[in-house]
Amino acid sequence: MPDTDTRKALLEVDDVTIRFGGVSALESVSFDIKEGEILGLIGPNGAGKTTCFNVMTGVYQATSGQIRFDGRPLAKMKRFQITKLGIARTFQNIRLFKSMTALENVLVGVDANSKVGLFNALLRTPLHRRTEAESIEAAYALLDFVGVGGRANELAENLSYGDQRRLEIARAMGTRPKLLCLDEPAAGFNPAEKQRLMDLIRKVRDDGYTVLLIEHDMRLVMGVTDRVVVLEFGRKIAEGPPAEIRDDPAVIAAYLGVDDEDAS
């Protein structure tokens, strides 16, 4: 597909392969995420979506190939450094800090950019007080933004399922990412909640974030993304705007589980 988009690529996945033992989880996958867009990454179960995610956030190292963020290669970088560089994520199976309050969860994210450390905290310097106040302010704002402001001081584990998912988004946004990666954020949502989530994702994008969305739910992906990359068995089988993807026979085959011979 010719690249007509003039926007700068924020993240470039360049011919990335990952093997576990003898099994390839990703096989020379390449795609870009452009600044300010919402990119959907879809595919049937086991297609390698989460693996792709994990290699982008430093959980796995690519066997070969390269991932560049803002032009800088991510290989060998520690996970927290990647986060500080500007990639934040949520988790498919919610992984909040359960015994911390909603506010504290977001604060952990906000702290990623905090300059104060042990000695400022120990001596309660003016800088520490100011930073802390700003962090709390920012965290509250994020909680309001995703719609859990009212439960800021409840323990994360006591929040409803939907609120926990939204809290994960707020926590990830707390790190002030350039790229926000959402791993199946709508899993377990009812249609009304999905609608609200789509609105939220658009709002996030409008606020200047670039979003990578891994999702199972086709309707949600088609409704909110600007562009879609489709994976199957660790390979990229299609890429393009949602409308095109919807009619792509390879994608349909992949999703319906039709054998290649039958589809052709």
Partner 1 sequence: MSTTAPGSTRSSRRSGRPLQIQLPSFLRSRLSRVVMIALGVLLAYALPLIQPPFITTPASDFGGVMASAASFALVALGLNIVIGYAGLLDLGYVGFYAVGAYTTGVLTSQHGHWPFFLVLPCAMIVTTVSGLMLGAPAIRVRGDYLAIVTLGFGEIISLVAKNTPWLGSAAGIKNIPPPPSIGPDPIGTDQDGLFQIPHLAWNGLVPSVDNLHKTPFLTFGVLDAIPYYWLILTFILVVLVADMMVNNSRVGRAWEATREDEDAAELMGVPTFRYKLLAFMLGAAIGGLAGSLLAAGQGGFISPDAFPLLLSMLFVAAVIIGGAGNRWGAILGGVLVAYLPERFRTLSDYRLLIFGLSLMVIVTFRPQGILPPRRTRRALRAQAEVEELEGEVIDA
Chain residues in the site for partner 1 (CB under 8 A): 57-59, 78-80, 83-84, 88-89, 91, 95-101, 103-104, 107-109, 111-114, 116-118, 121-124, 128-130, 132-145, 149-155, 171-176, 178, 203, 207-209
Q: Tell the smallest beta-carbon distance from residue 219 to partner 1 (Å).
A: 26
Question: CB-wise, 3 or 119, nearer to partner 1?
Answer: 119
Question: CB-wise, 83 or 225, nearer to partner 1?
Answer: 83
Q: Tell the smallest beta-carbon distance from residue 190 to partner 1 (Å).
A: 23
Question: CB-wise, 42 or 107, nearer to partner 1?
Answer: 107
Q: Is 214 left (phi over 0), alpha (psi -120 to 50) or beta?
A: beta
Beta-bridged to residue 33, according to DSSP, are 11
SS3 label, residue 142: helix
Helix 161-174 / helix 102-111 crossing angle, nearest 10 deg? 20
Q: Tell the smallest beta-carbon distance from residue 13 to partner 1 (Å).
A: 18
Q: Phi then psi for 150, rounded to 5 degrees? A: -70, -15
Q: Tell the smallest beta-carbon distance from residue 51 to partner 1 (Å).
A: 15
Question: CB-wise, 39 or 103, nearer to partner 1?
Answer: 103
Residues in the chain: 264
Question: CB-wise, 28 or 113, nearer to partner 1?
Answer: 113
| Closest to 224 in 3D by CA, of 195, 263, 247, 261 | 195
- CA 110, CA 127: separation in Å to the nearest integer? 16
Q: Tell the smallest beta-carbon distance from residue 33 to partner 1 (Å).
A: 15
What's the sign of the alpha-carbon dihedral 173, 201, 189, 89? negative
| Residue 3 amino acid letter | D
